[in-house]
Amino acid sequence: LRIIIINGPNLNLLGRREPEIYGEDTFEDFMIHLRGKFVDDDVDLTYFQSNHEGLLLDKLHEVGFSYDGIILNAGALTHTSVALADAVAGIETPVIEVHISNVHKREAFRHHSYISPVAEGIIVGFGLRGYELAVQYFL
């Protein structure tokens, strides 16, 4: 099974960015933990992060016809990007939308997602554990 985690803007700052909201773990450390959790499973876990909308689109197009699952945290682009939603709608690989924080108990502008209507499912507010739950779903 080939699964990719795609993180959008500012998620490279995890561990340093507003730790009271997003936690103190870096994503690189978390990836070691995550790969360890699934060593016994036939799963190849790739990680990609970009702060650039176009690079996120390119990556979705690149993996979206061959991978088995995409776990997408588009960061703030979730709330603004019609282009990312169109990409998710246009590819074949199912996409699970993940948010580390519970966006629904935060500012109103975080309550709307362009990604949700085209996602297979949504995991919100469970911290980094949300990525693990998404991998479990694909397995």
Torsions phi, psi of 98, nearest 5? -125, 140
Given a contact cutoff of 8 angstroms between Cβ atoms, the answer to whether 71 and 4 are in contact is: yes
CB of 101 to ligand DQA, least distance (A): 4
Touching ligand DQA, residues 66-125 (CB under 6 A)? 73, 75-76, 78, 99-101, 103, 110
Residue with tokens 């009271």: 20
Q: Which of 22, 67, 114, 131 is labelled catalytic?
A: 22
CA distances (Å), origin 57, targets 48, 66, 76, 84, 104: 12, 15, 15, 6, 26
Task: Check whether 7 is labelled as a binding-site residue.
Answer: no
Distance CA 101, CA 84 (A): 20
Task: Check whether 12 is labelled as a binding-site residue.
Answer: no
Record the tokens describing residue 68, joined without a space: 């088995």
- Catalytic residue status for 22: yes
Task: Check whether 110 is labelled as a binding-site residue.
Answer: yes
- Catalytic residue status for 112: no
CB of 111 to ligand DQA, least distance (A): 9
26 binds ligand DQA (CB under 6 A): no
Q: How many CA atoms lie within 13 A of 76 on its CB side?
A: 7
CB of 36 to ligand DQA, least distance (A): 22
- CA nearest to 103, candidates 123, 129, 117: 123
64 binds ligand DQA (CB under 6 A): no
Query: Which CB, 26 or 101, lies closer to ligand DQA?
Result: 101
Which are the catalytic amino acids? 22, 99
Interface residue list for ligand DQA (CB under 6 A): 10, 73, 75-76, 78, 99-101, 103, 110
